[in-house]
Amino acid sequence: MTTPPPRSGTPYSFLFTPHREAVLRCGRYTLRLNRPLIMGVVNVTPDSFSDGGHYADCQRAIERARALVDEGADILDIGGESTRPGAQPVALEEERRRVLPVLDGLASGSVPVSVDTRTPQLMLEALAAGASMINDINALEADDALRIVAASEAAVCLMHKQGEPQTMQDHPAYDDVVEEVSAYLRDRAAAAIAAGIARERIVIDPGFGFGKTLEHNLELLRSLDRIAAAGLPVLAGLSRKGMLGRLTGREVSERIYASVAAALIAAQKGAAIVRVHDVAATRDALRIWGAVAAR
């Protein structure tokens, strides 16, 4: 596919994307997708792989989220359950206790708040409490999830994974990882549209690290433009992940440079949204690219 000619004044004019003029509708917010957006992650958990325990307290999580907005986050993503490889599922009651008070403190802010959950009942409660997006690593496959999101105005991120977090890294296997992930995301987007979720509310995500070897992850990153060719905005979540540790030999707390590099590559490959922990560093890198790209 060829890149359309640049328009004067359009930032990121060599961005490979079929949705340059597009918007993402997230509840009362409409986000323009004319540059890569930054989703800032706040995990309200004791055990998330990179920030577990740091923001388990509600007030600290809210302060962290506000700091990420000051650093340039376009969307916040609040999670109450770690889905890192080997993680144990969290009971609804506990996930609710972690997420809803933080959402309450942020929902009236200047940026949309996404809730990272695969639990339909929590989706329902989060939407009622002002969540503008549901980020579901299960791609709304659980009973009722499609119906619950369709009944709202919120956006949704449909993510691919192979297997379940507890065992997904045991033996990931694909014949053609890019084709299989793309086909799955196309199917889930079609199911969401059939359930009444407008196209402009849907984001797709190949799910880096979710039932994928290092080689699978690299192949997906190399070919992100093929996934973006579905015409839906693509979200890429590479921040601080194990694949970056494998490639650099660095611990989680030392993966900021690798994370920024990965986010930049994802954006150049057509990601509409990058999901990151280090917002300021990512924003600076994307700004440099944007300045070079704008003509």
Rounded Cα distance, 45 and 7, in Å: 44
Residue 43 near ligand HH2 by CB under 6 A? yes
From the list 118, 79, 135, the residue with the least C-alpha distance to 273 is 135
Rounded Cα distance, 143 and 270, in Å: 32
Whichever of 116 and 125 has its CB closer to ligand HH2, that residue is 116
Q: Among the candidate windows 13-21, 179-187, 205-213, 248-256, which touches ligand HH2 by CB under 6 A?
A: 205-213
Enumerate residues 211-250 that contact ligand HH2 by CB under 6 A: 235, 237
Rounded Cα distance, 177 and 170, in Å: 16
Residue 157 near ligand HH2 by CB under 6 A? yes
Residue 49 near ligand HH2 by CB under 6 A? yes
Q: Which runs of consecutive H residues, i.e. helices, occur in 6-132?
A: 58-71, 92-106, 120-128
Among 137, 149, 232, 263, binds ligand HH2 (CB under 6 A): 137
Of 35, 241, 269, 283, catalytic? 241
Element (H, E) at 281: helix 279-293
Rounded Cα distance, 138 and 104, in Å: 24
Assess whether 161 carries a catalytic annotation.
Answer: no
Assess whether 241 carries a catalytic annotation.
Answer: yes
Residue 116 near ligand HH2 by CB under 6 A? yes
Whichever of 49 and 289 has its CB closer to ligand HH2, that residue is 49
Tokens describing residue 172: 């990931």
Site residues for ligand HH2 per CB under 6 A: 41, 43, 45, 48-50, 79, 82-84, 116, 135, 137, 157, 159, 205, 207-208, 235, 237, 275
